[in-house]
Amino acid sequence: ESQSEEIQKVEKFKSSESSIVSKPINPFTSGQSKDGEAEEPSAAAASSSQTLPSFWIPSLTPEAKPTQLKKPSKAVLCPMSGRPIKMNELIPVRFTPLDPGLDRVALLNRQDRYVCAVTRDALGNSVPCAVLRPSGAVVTQECVERLIRKDMVDPVSGDKLSDRDIIPLQRGGTGFAGSGVDLRAKEARPVMQA
């Protein structure tokens, strides 16, 4: 009889330890259901998981409402105007290399790779740039303000320019948290209330 009890204990241990997650035992029940049959632990766990959601997961809290996801549009939108981009509206952008004799691999090893097409100033993340639509040349914003806006003529191709033909480029990050952003300091002081 002790051997059969031992076999039962081993079988019970195997069944309880087969899953990684242990099932809690309800201390208020004797393990027998009202019908006199042993209650299945998986059925008890399933019913309790339906009634008591995980409160630490935000999507399972009682206050959480199902979110409605919108289908993304198939059109690629312009980041500046928000209108759909058409293929015939795209223009080639031509960066002027620092030294035309260098090949692509040699350019990757240099710090200053490209220069302004007009002034030959080095281009980088901290230098605001613009593209001239007729020629596609990249120039510094300083060059646009000082030289190009006076005559409104593209210095590379010689075509007449309008304000729409000067496209500002958005700068990349420089590694500083506040780069490219207008920073405002605000001081909060304690206030006495009456």
pLDDT, one tens digit per residue, over 35-54 is 444 445 555 555 555 555 56
DSSP-derived pairing of the beta strands 166-168 and 129-132: antiparallel
pLDDT at 155 over 80: yes
* Domains, the chain, ordered by start: 88-168 (3.30.40.10)
* SS3 (DSSP) at 137: strand
Instruction: Count Cβ atoms below 10 Å from residue 137 Cβ, excluding itself.
Output: 20
When comparing pLDDT for 55 and 133, which is higher?
Answer: 133
Query: Which tokens sit at 27?
Result: 């201390």
Provide mean pLDDT across the span 138-144.
94
Residues near 40 by beta carbon (within 8 Å), at least 6 away in sequence: none
Q: Which of 50, 55, 47 is nearest to 26 (CA)?
A: 47
Kindly report which listed range (35-39, 70-74, 113-117, 155-159) carries the lowest average pLDDT score. 35-39
Measured between alpha carbons, how far is 122 from 98 in angstroms, rounded to an integer?
8
